[in-house]
Amino acid sequence: MCLGIPGQIVAITDASRQMAMAEISGVRREVSVVPVAGADLNALIGAWVLIHVGFAMAVIDEAEAAETLEALRGLGEAQETLEAMAEGAKALEDAQ
Amino acid sequence: MRYVEEFRDPAAAKGVLAAIARVADEIGATREKPLHIMEICGGHTHAIFRYGLDKLVHEGIEFIHGPGCPVCVLPMSRVDECVEIAERLGVIFCTFGDAMRVPGTRKSLLQAKAEGADIRMVYSPLDALELARRTPEREVVFFGLGFETTTPSTAFSIQAAAREGIANFSVFCNHITVPPPIKTLLDDPHMTLDGFVGPGHVSMVIGTHPYDFIAEDYGKPIVVAGFEPLDLLQSVLMVLEQIRDGRAEVENQYARVVPEHGNPISLAAIADVYETRPTFEWRGLGEIDASGLRIRPVYAGFDAEEKFGIGYVTARRVVEEPEGCACGAVMTGRMKPTECPHFGRGCTPDMPLGALMVSSEGACAAYWTYGGARAAQMEAAE
Amino acid sequence: MNMAAPITRLRGETVTLAHGGGGRAMRDLIDEIFVAAFRPDAMEDQARLTHAALAKPGARLAFTTDSFVVTPLEFPGGDIGTLAVCGTVNDLAAGGAEPLWLSASFIIEEGMPFATLRRIVASMVREAAAAGVRIATGDTKVVERGSADGLFITTSGVGVIRAGRDLRAERIREGDVALVNGVLADHGATILAARGDLMVSTDIASDCRPLNGVMEAVLAAAPNARAARDATRGGLASALNEMAETAGVSVELDEAALPIRAEVKGVCEILGLDPLDLANEGALVVFVPTDEAESALAAMRAVPGGEDACAVGRAVTRGPVPVTMRTAFGGARIVDMLVGEQLPRIC
């Protein structure tokens, strides 16, 4: 359910109807920013939003995204450490 | 950051997959005695197959594909009602593409279009509203379909129509909500689920608390997940860690998009435009209490059911589902798509019998297109 | 018979049923729009053709036909005329034939502006010149409004296959490499965007172009090339499924190697479509033996239309499914044939 994709707001096209132009990998589509609109629509320009059926449904939180990626990277490093330890243990075993 | 490629990095997957394998081993999950993890959302089902995640994870993990495809759970009677509206003189019927192929008892929207009904495929309800603005002499009906993610978009469109006085616009409302069918699944005595991957884009609107009952009342872990492959893998890991630690909590893996309390503007629009129906019919699951939404009387002028005297405003018609169709059992996780007697025989994506074969994100169609199911079956036949 | 003739006998701005009536109005339409552009040798009802290549021992005649319908008639990168010439030229070329002559048959809906028709015919002349083929004969019919969608064109093509050439999917063997001449799915994505009902805008253009030059380059560099297809409707997915089924092999694609533009991926992400299912009008998939793959690629890259050529997969022992893909993420999935019409999804 619910195909949603990240896009960047590049311009406000109709302030009265809260419409903006969003760009998704070089493709442009006018979207409604009603769900994420604050007092100043122009503040949205440059923001990354999650787009679903022509609406910007959420502003993507960069700090949270970075944190998620950090956790993923941590798992990768932990795995490398484990593999290194396993190799070390094996080398020790082989030596004995 | 572009929020896509970063979460599709195959190098980063290695660590997560290894961690999943480690925790699965600690729990003692095996191919013979696997953990059953349900991804509720059809978008997740699609991603699992598109990236081949089912084959990458530890063999002791089995994905059970949930009821979160709004097209798949749409009952035949509703499709019939769509066709009935679309075939009225002067109507332009607008729909999302996925709903075009869903079989009704008489025909699908695609067939009705071929026979002359003016049916248009749109990307957004805003496009239908724009069509109504431009063609005031025609009745433009939008087929409102989907879970909480999509519900705000039709609510905003109805509010805009009301504000601008666009009287020739209405919505045929089939919006449904996620928690009730999950409760139905959990109440099923045959249920064997160990945990849930929660629908991230639904939570973007409603937040994470509507799932509290899953953890608190049923003791099952649930992790609200994003839709990129790394999101899904990390969520699976978080579910496994809960199982290993004997915890049952609602966790949020998709914090970059999902706020704990959802989106207040969208929630306010839903509350303004819609109210809960006493009951709504789901394909394969039957009538579920308080699982559907209808347009409030104050917006009756934009309610296609009221305008055309169709659907729940009339006496209910009983519609038989195709005989032997096991969509219900597949959707509740009791049966795998390949175990259905019709899978790949009477029921294929070109000639769908059951709902799950209709939409490309339906569990059966996804199995057919991306999964190992077709391969397994062809091997068996050889 | 001068295209720039300042005086026209055509009355009004648009085609009417009178232009299909068989009388003087029809003669004027044919003379001023079609004959002036295509310049046939004679005005008989048939083209009378000879070609030296046909007289060579072992040469075979190749004959193909295709009908073209597209909405909108004109789109970024081409129009229905471009498609009508390139489509038939490419069907001949993919079979190893040198395309020589085309026929072109037009079904015109009344109300079609002369100006549009002239532009489309000019595209056909241009593409035919690029491909080195002649449009040798043709026909026009005019139908009532509502009986056609603006304009339908049918082209048939005749070419000659030199002695010794035998391109057939049956000849594909395990280990053969699948090459494409350039980026995929541009045409399908362009048409989706150009239709306007989905209200997306992009800078992409159709890849529509004649491929006989690319094909000749491949065949010169890879004399043992097995088979080729013009991956049009149904995209690369359908072309590969058909070839694998016929050959009795399976094909393993490498997702990371697929040349697809970011914008095309963007259109697909927005609409929930698979670029492998989207139509191409200038994409050739060729199977060659491993030891000829490098030279075939180099030859393709040296000619126009082949600059972005690359290897995308290989033929393997027949497995349970015809086409699979190693995903860029490291998993594997089935690449099935497109089912029915490709419909954008929201969910």
- Summarised one tens digit per residue, pLDDT across range C81-106 is 999 999 999 999 999 999 999 999 99
Residues in contact with B163: Cβ distance below 8 Å, sequence separation at least 6, in sequence order = none
Contact C316, C326 (CB under 8 A): no
The answer on C96 and C181 residing in a single domain is no
* Domain contains B54: yes
* Domain contains B298: no
**CATH (domain of B18):** 3.40.50.11750
Reported as a pLDDT band with limits 50, 70 and 90, residue C1 is very low
- Cβ contact A54–B253 (<8 Å): no
Domain count, chain A: 2
Rounded to 5°, angle at Cα C327 from C325 and C331: 100
C-alpha dihedral, C35 to C36 to C40 to C44, nearest 10°: 40
pLDDT of A80 over the 90 cut: no
The predicted pLDDT at position C2 comes to: 45
Between the alpha carbon of residue B137 and those of residues B82, B269, C100, the distances in Å are 20, 28, 53
* Domain contains C84: yes
Reported as a pLDDT band with limits 50, 70 and 90, residue B77 is confident
Task: Among C106, C130, C161, give the residue marking a domain's end.
Answer: C161
The answer on C72 and C25 residing in a single domain is yes
Between the alpha carbon of residue A88 and those of residues A85, A92, A93, C27, the distances in Å are 5, 6, 9, 89
Domain count, chain B: 1
The answer on C193 and C88 residing in a single domain is no
Report residue C115: phi and psi, to 5°.
-60, -40
- The shortest C-alpha distance from C222 to chain B (Å) reads 34
- Cβ contact B229–C329 (<8 Å): yes
The answer on C114 and C130 residing in a single domain is yes
Task: Among C145, C161, C177, give the residue marking a domain's end.
Answer: C161
Q: Which residues of C touch A30 (CB under 8 A)?
A: 199
Q: Which residues of C touch B227 (CB under 8 A)?
A: none
The answer on A28 and A43 residing in a single domain is yes
Q: Domain containing C184: what range?
A: 169-334
- Cβ contact A24–C266 (<8 Å): yes
Residues in contact with C30: Cβ distance below 8 Å, sequence separation at least 6, in sequence order = C140
Predicted confidence (pLDDT) per residue in C142-181, tens digit:
999 999 999 999 999 999 999 999 999 999 999 999 999 9
Contact C307, C259 (CB under 8 A): no
d(CA B68, CA B363) in angstroms, rounded, equals 10
Predicted confidence (pLDDT) per residue in B289-301, tens digit:
999 999 999 999 9
ipTM of the complex model: 0.91
* Domain contains B21: yes
For B46, name the nearest residue in chain C, comparing CA atoms only: C347
Contact B374, B368 (CB under 8 A): yes
- The shortest C-alpha distance from C78 to chain A (Å) reads 20
Chain center to CA of C186: 12
Residue type, C274: D
pLDDT of B380 over the 60 cut: no
d(CA C251, CA C243) in angstroms, rounded, equals 9
Question: Sign of the CA dihedral C228, C234, C235, C237?
Answer: negative
The predicted pLDDT at position B382 comes to: 41
Contact C260, C184 (CB under 8 A): yes
Half-sphere exposure of B50 (CA within 13 A, CB side): 20
Closest by Cα among B102, B147, B87, B93 to B125: B93
The predicted pLDDT at position B178 comes to: 95
The answer on C179 and C127 residing in a single domain is no
**CATH (domain of A54):** 2.30.30.140
Q: Domain containing B58: what range?
A: 5-69+193-206+217-252
* Domain contains B332: no
The answer on C157 and C173 residing in a single domain is no
Q: State whether residue C274 sits within 8 Å of chain A by CB.
A: no
Residues in contact with B301: Cβ distance below 8 Å, sequence separation at least 6, in sequence order = B162, B167, B170, B307
Predicted confidence (pLDDT) per residue in B229-275, tens digit:
999 999 999 999 999 999 999 999 999 999 999 999 999 999 999 99
The predicted pLDDT at position B138 comes to: 98
* Domain contains B311: no
The answer on C178 and C45 residing in a single domain is no
Beta bridge partners of B275: B294
Contact C32, C9 (CB under 8 A): yes
How many B×C Cβ pairs under 8 Å?
A: 105
* Domain contains C343: no
Task: Among C120, C144, C161, give the residue marking a domain's end.
Answer: C161
**CATH (domain of C107):** 3.30.1330.10
The predicted pLDDT at position C340 comes to: 73
The answer on A50 and A22 residing in a single domain is yes
Cis amide prior to C72 (ω within 30 degrees): yes
* Domain contains B145: no
* Domain contains B223: yes
> In whole numbers, what is the pLDDT of chain B averaged over residues?
90
Which residues in C98-109 are b (16+ Cβ under 10 Å) and which e?
Answer: bbbbbbbbbbbb
Contact C339, C277 (CB under 8 A): no
Neighbours of chain A (3+ CB pairs under 8 A): B, C
Q: Domain containing A89: what range?
A: 62-96
d(CA C341, CA C347) in angstroms, rounded, equals 17
Predicted confidence (pLDDT) per residue in C103-145, tens digit:
999 999 999 999 999 999 999 999 999 999 999 999 999 999 9
